[in-house]
Each structure stands twice: as C-alpha cells, then as structure tokens.
Amino acid sequence: MSVSLADSSFLKSYTPSNLPDQNQQQQKMGQYPSTQQPHYSLAVFQNQPDVLTLIDLTITGTFPSYLDEGLLYRTGPGSFSVPFDNAEGELVVNHWFDGFTQNHRFEFSCRRSPYHDGGKGPIGVKYNSRHSTDAHKARIARLGYEPSTGFAQTRPPRKIFGPNPPPAVEYVLQNTTILQDPDVSPPPSALLAAAQQLAQNRPPPADPALPTNPEEYNVGVTIQPKWPGGDASDSDFALVTRTDSNKLQRLDPVTLEPLESFTWARFDSRLNGQVTASHSQIDPETGEEFNFNLELGANATYKVFRISDKGNKVTMLAEIAGAPPCYLHSLFLTKKYVILGVWQAVYKYGGLGVALQGNIVDSLEKRWNPDLPSLFYVVDRSGKNGLVKTFKAPAHYCFHTIGAWDDESTGDVVLNYCKLDDHNVIWKFSLDNLRSLPQDFTHEAAYFAQARLPVVSNTSATSGPPTDLVFTAEGSKLNNIELPQINPGHHLKPFRYVYGIHSTNLTEMPFHGLIRYDTVTNRSLVWAPQNIIAGEPLFVRDPSSGPEASPETELNGVLLSMVYDANVNASALVAIDPNTMTQVARASMPYGVIADMGFHGAFANEFYQSLQS
C-alpha cells in the first residue's frame, strides 16, 4: 500500500481500522498501571503504508546544529502479509525477521530565517519511506506461496522440485524428520546424494546482477550509504542494503526506489556461497570492507575476503574448511585481523534444509549442546598469512559484535560483543510471541562481554589445538543490551561506552528503552519512558570533537532512535544526550503514521558519505 502525503487530508483521515480514535487511545493508555504495558501489537508488527512524499515532522526540543544537511536511513520489516490473487487466504509471515522490507529516510536541515545568525534557524526534519519488495509480494500473490529462501518462512518443497523430483531428493522429501528430529540419524549416503543433486540443480551465481525486477528480493537488515568496496561505477554515491543471504540491493538515496539487486559474486565469482553476514566490517581509514561468504554443503567452507575501496578488487584472505557451518550475523575487525566468531547455530547436514525447506531456522540444530565450544578464527587481514590461530570458549551465542581492537602492549586482540547464554533467541522472535506476549514469555537477554585472544603477532600459521579464549569482563542481564552502537570515532579503537536497546522487564515487550552501558564500572543509564518501543540508537559524533577519538570526547554527540510511542499512537525520531540519557529533541510523525522500528540504520552527510565510521 502506498500513500502520497502531498497534502494533509490523508493525515486527518487516516486511522487504522483496528485502532481507536486518538482521544480514546490516549485515554486508554492513561489507564494502564505502571507495571503493565499496552497491547503494542495493535499498531506495530502490522502492514504499514509508504510515505512517498516528504512530510515535515513536528519538532519539540532542539536537534544539534551539526545534524544540518544530514540524512538518517533505516531499514527493516514494514509489512507481514500478502493476500493471494486467485485463491482465498493470504501468506502470513511467521517470524519478525521475514517481514517485507520498508526503508526510511530522515532529512535534517536548518530552517532559514532572517531572525537567526547566518540566516539559519533550528533544525527541521522531513521524512519519507518506501517498501522495496513490491514485485516480490506480487509474485507471492500470484503463486500462492513464498518462493524464496527466508529466515523462518517455510517454502513448500514440492512446489520447487515439482511432482517428480530426483530420487535422492524424493527420499529426503518422504523422510522429512531427518531434517527436524535431532534424534533421527538418516543414512549418510542418502543425505550426500540429495546434497549433490541439489548442488547440481543450483542456479549459477548471479553476476553482475540478479535477474528480473530488483524488487523481487527481500533485502533489509543493514543499510549503508556506501558502495561495497568504493563508489558505484555509474554514480557518485550509493545506498545499499544487505541481509544474511548472498543478496544486496541498491536504492535511490532520495526516493528509496530499488535500482538493482546483486550478489557478492558481482565482484568475484568465488563469492557464490549462499550465506554471508549482514554486518560487513569497514575500516574507516582505508575504506576497505571485510566479510565472509559461506558455501553450504558436504564440505562447507568459509571464504573470508577483503574488498578494496577503489576498483572493487577482492582479496581472499582465508578459506576455512572443517569449521562447523553456522548461522553468523556479524564478525570482528581490528587493524591487523579479521575474526570469525563461530557460535552454535549449526546448519544440519551441511545446510540441506535451506534448499529443501527454504529457510534458515528449520535447517539449524535446535537442541543446544552446552559441551560444544564456541570457536574464534583469527585471520590476517593483510592477506599474507591466512588463518593465524583458532581459539575456543565455553558454549554461548551472539548476534551482534560491538567492536574490537589490537592491544599493542600485549599483542592480544580484544573482542567486545553482546553475549547470549544459548541460541533460543532465534526462535523467540516469532510474530505470535511479539503480538500476543504469552504468559510464559521470557525473551533472551544479551549482555556485554569482553574477551582477549592471546594472539602472537609473528605467528604465521595455525598450529596445535585451539587455545582458550580469556573472558576479561562481563555485564549482567539487568544491563541487557542489543543492537549495540558505539561512538563511531572509536571503531577499531578502545572505547568505554556502549549504547543499545534495552528491556526493563524480560517478561514484557522487548526493546522498550535505550541503555548506555559503562564497560569500566559495569553500570548503566537507561532512557525508558512508559509505553515506548525503541529502535537501534545511532551515535552521531559532534564534529567539534576533532578528528581523533579520545576518552575525553567519547560522549560528545547525540543518539538518534526511531521509536513508536503508544501514548499518542505514532512514531517519532528522538535525540538522546549520551551524557545524561535524556531526550533533547523529538521529531513526531502525525497521529496514526507508524514506522516500525526496524533493524539497523546509518547516518550520512549531504554528500552521502557515511558518518558512522
């Protein structure tokens, strides 16, 4: 659904059919006791319209003047169902991570005024949004099922392979418990034959671009105002979204219209594996981008690569075979190394379930093994020494890394990340859970962890068994934190403060606040007004802090977070002072205009250069 907001008539008339009017909504919210939350799902986790024409947001407080001419982009799910064309019913998304992508754009500019010095007034904010999956949803409506690989959405295998699949595939289809029951051990020969058949039928890598309409693909976990490895060949800027499968999508940085979809194989044909990390690592000084590409199968291999800032040259840093094929969402980078944290979310049977069932979740080993260690693979980022060393740690899980650096005094690598006790979080974010909050609901709490890898800098190759990783600091679930951010001036450098979304009660709706966690004192400050759902806080540095990061200026900047405010049934962009974790400004959308908080974002200046590094 697309809506143009060129005039205000829509703003006055638009009230979602399942919501009370504004006065009733405000009155109802006021009746909730402080220990109880309203039913947020009346508004969020629903299909949201696009705002195709820029609208002015209502400003309270004062946004910092250094945001002038800046742009904030956000990406994440914006709709969760598609009605079928020729049949009753609709496709209903089961998991939050499978929602259809909607991208958001906030434009900051000083209001020109003769009454202010230099003819400038306070910062104003404009907003527009657009779904990037219209062709994909049209295909679902026509076919009556989801044809693409997703995170948790089941794809009917009979629809993919037809009524007469190859014998090896037919064997697996008739014995689906081998993919779902951890206690069933199928004949290895049957699995191998099926995997080989699937590999033979696999389409060739899409190079230079994926076929058909770029809106055929659901790509919306991270967003970067930067072309992978440098500038796009046909323009001075690029806005690119990424996901955990091997797909990227370029958007128009003004209208948010999808322009093309492609894979990492566009830059090097060796990067044709099915899986990658949504969160690439970018060196802010060199502009180089680092990631991995995982090719599933009987001999699953991680290909750790670097792509140059100019010329899009790919350097294969290491090919790691024999490591457990796992679902990894992010990785670490220092000035010397790329580090893969391989956490226990293992693709069963080499990822066979991804091809057969069309999603990641059903292909993962759900039973947690507390005796299976987490592994850390340290790769020389110069490209000279490959895999340098491997470390192991007690079983735990992680979605998001925070940052890493080289300790020059010891030769150690220091890792910082959001640690989870197990991988149950993967299954917790079903839409049924988020919408209804069953009485026994308790979502998993990630907490800060810091670890040291005693890497010997002159080691040229891995040797011997994995070395134990040393945990040097851990937070607590009371200080739970996710979607972590730091002052971007401290990327690849030591830092003290981490910011993220926070839950004040683990039995209620997740992410209803923001937190600043102090890694030195293990103390935190929390911003959590009643009836708020908060999105990832992005730290924008105050440029007056100077080019060099320092402990004295680490708090100099502002946090920007897209929130849903149930008190007024509308979304807003809030600015939070990192020093006090209090709101200094808010840009409010009109009543009833809701932007789901989404996953991740990026801030850029008027030249579309990323200011997040």
Binding site listing for Fe cation: 279, 329, 400, 600
Which residues make Cβ contacts (< 8 Å) with residue 350, sequence separation at least 6?
191, 195, 296, 297, 298, 299, 300, 325
For residue 484 the two structure tokens come to 């972590």
Q: Dump the DSSP string for 276-337.
A: E-SS-EE-TTT--EEEEEEE-STT-EEEEEEE-SSTT-EEEEEEEESS--B-----EE-SSE
In angstroms, the CA 209 to CA 256 distance is 19
Residue with tokens 């999956």: 133
- Residue ranges in 144-290 assigned as alpha helix (H): 157-161, 167-174, 177-180, 188-201
Residue 297, CA distances (Å) to 332, 353, 387 in order: 25, 10, 21
Annotated binding-site residues read: 279, 329, 400, 600
Asked whether 613 and 488 are in contact (CB, 8 A), the reply is yes
For residue 145, give both structure tokens.
Answer: 């099922």
Structure token pair of residue 455: 């890497």
State whether residue 15 is helix, strand or coil: coil
Identity of the amino acid at 516: R
CA neighbor of 342 nearest in space, from 321, 332, 327, 353 = 327
Return all residues near 455 (Cβ < 8 A) that are at least 6 apart: 337, 378, 388, 389, 411, 412, 413
Given the DSSP bridges, would you call strands 2-3 and 50-51 parallel, antiparallel or unpaired? parallel
Provide DSSP, 366-431. -S--TTS-EEEEEEETTSSS-EEEEEEESS-B-S-EEEEEE-TTT--EEEEEEEBSSSTHHHHTBH
Judge contact between 248 and 312, C-beta under 8 A: no
Q: What letters, b where the CB count within 10 A reaches 16 and e where it falls short, cover 218-231?
A: bbbbbbbbbbbbbb
Spatial distance between the Cα atoms of 542 and 578, rounded to a whole number of angstroms? 11
Give the residue carrying structure tokens 């999105």. Answer: 535
| The dihedral sign for the CA sequence 480, 483, 486, 487 | negative
Q: Which of 260, 261, 324, 317 is nearest to 289 (CA)?
A: 317
Cα–Cα distance between 118 and 396 in angstroms, integer? 55
Distance CA 613, CA 599 (A): 19
